[in-house]
Amino acid sequence: MTPQPPENQDKDGRSPEPGDGPGTPGASGGGRWSDLERPPLDVRALRRALLRPGSLWTALDVVDATGSTNTDLALRAAAGAPEGTVLVAEEQTAARGRLDRRWSAPPRSGIFVSVVLTPRVPQERWGWLPLLAGVATATALSRAAGVDTALKWPNDVLLTVDGAERKAGGILAERAGDGVVLGMGLNVSLREDELPVPTATSLALAGAHTLDRDTLLRAVLRSLETWYAAWQDADGDPVASGVQEAYVAGCATLGRAVRAELPGGRAVRGEAVALDGDGRLILATGDGVQQPVGAGDIVHLRPDTDGGGYS
C-alpha cells in the first residue's frame, strides 16, 4: 500500500502555498479533482525558474483570487515593493483594461499577472513600455505555443482563428510611485461559451501547442525581461533597442483603415500609416492630414463592398 502524505502536504512531502497544490472547487464543476482540467499554477516551480541571481524578477506571489493584480501591486509599489516584483492571480473579479473597462474570466482559465518596473531611462520614453510588453508577449506565445500572433495598437494581443484576428489578451501600464505597474491578461483555456464577447478568443480556440500556464507564464516573463533589458541598455531608444521595428513588424493595425475614438467623444478616420518616435499611431486622413494618436480606442474597419468605402 502506497503511503499517503499528511492532509496538509502534497505528495512530494512539501506544504502547499497559495496557488500551489490542489485547487479550490468550482473551476470546472467542483470537487477535489476539478484541477485536472484547469490545474493551479505551481508557485514553487515558477520561483525556482524565474527568481535567479541577476534576474530582473525579485519576488513572485500567486493568489487564489483578487479584484485586480494591477491595483494590488500598485499598493505594494507605493509601500516599497522593489522592481521585479511579480503578482499573479488564479482569478480576477474586477480586472481593468484601457479606458477603465472591466472584465473577468473563470478561475485558472488564463494568465493574470502584473509586475513592478522602474525604468532607468528618460520618462518621455516610458510610453513605449506597453508596446514593448506587447512585443514580448507576442514573441513568447509564438515560440512557446506555436500560435499566429499580431498586435493591435496600442496594447491588444490578437490570435488568428478561422482566418479572423481576434483578441486574446491585453496590456495595461499605470504609473505607481517612482515606477510603473505593467499588467497583462491572456485567455488560455476559455471555451467559446465562456468568451466575454464574440470578437474574443483564447489559446485553446487558436489551437495552441500548449495550454500549460506555468510554461506560458515563464515564457512571457523571460521574454519581457529580455526586451526590457535591451530597451534599457539603449536608454529607452525604440530604434536602437529594436522595439519599434519589432512592433511595426507584428502590428495588425498598420496599413489598415481605422477609426480612432478619442477622449472627449471625438472620432477620426484614416489609414494607420506609421508609428512615431513616441509610439503614437499616425493616421493619414482623407483631407491629407497626418494626425498622431496617443490615446484612444482603435477600431479596424472592414471594406464596405456595397458602398465602396469602409465600415
pLDDT band at 102 (very low <50, low <70, confident <90, very high): low
- Is-same-fold flag (37-249; 254-300)? no
Confidence (pTM) = 0.85
| Phi, psi of 219, rounded to the nearest 5 degrees | -65, -45
CATH topology of domain 37-249: BirA Bifunctional Protein; domain 2 (3.30.930)
Task: Give CA–CA dist 50/288, Å, rounded.
Answer: 49
Say what the pLDDT of residue 303 is: 66
Quickly list DSSP for 205-260.
TTT-S---HHHHHHHHHHHHHHHHHHHHHTTT-TTTTSHHHHHHHHBSSTTSEEEE
Residue 37 neighbours by CB under 8 Å, 6+ apart: 27, 28, 189
CATH topology of domain 254-300: SH3 type barrels. (2.30.30)
pLDDT in tens, 122-146: 999 999 999 999 999 999 999 999 9
Residue ranges per domain, the chain? 37-249, 254-300
pLDDT in tens, 28-58: 344 444 567 899 999 999 999 999 999 999 9
Measure the CA dihedral 233/237/242/245, to 10°: 170
